[in-house]
Amino acid sequence: MSSVPASAFLALALILFCIGLYGALTKRNTVIVLISIELMLNAVNINLVTFSKYGLSPSIDGQIFALFAMAVAAAEAAVGLAILMALYRNKKTVHIDEMNEMKH
């Protein structure tokens, strides 16, 4: 394992983050958007865990942070989906580009 350099993890995290961001900004389906956001948060978790192990001064804090981040991400996703359901009831759509009642 030690053969894998820290920078690879970081690059992975960055790529994941970017994929997540791309998904969040382009996908029409709100569920996918929410999942993309999870992806971004998970990229952060990879970062945190990487730093916790291979950082300049490794410490356990990063892993704890990652745990918290996961919990929060779960809550966020739950709330997001709940709101999406309410929205779906009213509008009968999960397409994010149709949520443009308020603009200008």
Partner 1 sequence: MVNLTKLYAVGGQITRIVHEWCLTPIDTHLKRGFDKMENAWLIPLFPLLSFLLLLLIGKRLKEASAYVGILMTLASLVFSILVLLERFSEPTYLYRFDWLTIGEMHLTAGFEVNQLNALMLFIVSLVSFLVHTYSKGYMHGDERFHVFYAYLGLFTFAMLGLVISPNILQTYIFWELVGLGSFLLIGFYYYKEEAKAAAKKAFIMTRIGDVGLLIGMILLFWQTNSFEYSEIFKAVEAGAISNTMITLTAILIFIGAIGKSGQFPLHTWLPDAMEGPTPVSALIHAATMVAAGVYLVAALFPLFLASKTALMTVAVIGGFTAIFAASIGLVQTDIKRVLAYSTVSQLGYMMLALGSAGYVAGVFHLMTHAFFKALLFLAAGSVIHAVHTQNIEEMGGLWKKLKFTAPLFLIGTLAISGVPGLSGFFSKDEILVAAWEGGHPVLFLLALIAAFMTAFYMFRLFFMVFTGENRGKQTHVHESPSTMTLPMLLLGILAVVAGYVNTPWFGSFLGDWLTDGNPVLGHGHIEGPAWIMAAATIVSLAGILLAYLIYGKRSIAPDWLSGKGDMLHTVLYNKYYIDEFYQMTVVAFVTGFSYLLRFIDVFIVEGIIKGVTGIIQGLGKLGSKMQTGQVQTYGAVAFVGLAVLVVIYALTGGYLR
Partner 2 sequence: MSLESFQQLNWSIMTPEFLILGVIAILVLMDLFMPKHMDRKMIGWIGIVAILAAMVATASMVGGPVESILHDTFRIDSFALAFKLLLLGGGALVLFLAVSYEPKDGVERYQAEFYYLFMTALLGAMLMTSSGDLITLYIGLELLSIPSYILAGIRKFHSQSNESAMKYVINGSISSAITLFGMSYVYGLTGTTNLLDMASKLATLSDSNHVYLLTLAFLMIVVGLGFKLAAAPFHMWAPDVYQGAPTPVTAFLSVVSKTAGFVIVIRILLTVFGFAATDGQGSIPILYNMQNYLAVIAAATMIIGNVVALKQTDIKRLFAYSSIAHAGYLLVAFTALTPNMFYSIWFYLLAYLLMNLGAFAIIQVVTEKAGSTKITEFAGLYRRSPVLAVSMGILLISLAGFPGTAGFIGKLNIFLGALYAEPGHYLLASIMIAATVVSYFYYFGIMTQIFFRPAADNSKFNIPFGIVVVLLVAVVGSVLFGILPNIAFDFLQNNLDIIADFFK
Is residue 75 part of the contact set for partner 2 (CB under 8 A)? yes
Rule CB under 8 A: say whether 44 interacts with partner 1. no
Tokens of 9: 């993890």
| Phi and psi angles of residue 3, each rounded to the nearest 5 degrees, phi first | -75, -20
User: End-to-end distance of the chain based on CA atoms, in angstroms?
Assistant: 53
Whole-number Å distance between alpha carbons of 76 and 34:
9
| Residues binding partner 2 (CB under 8 A) | 13, 17, 20-21, 24, 30, 33-34, 37, 40-41, 43-44, 47-48, 50-51, 55-59, 61-62, 64-65, 68-69, 72, 75-76, 79-80, 82-84, 86-87, 89-91, 96, 99, 101-104
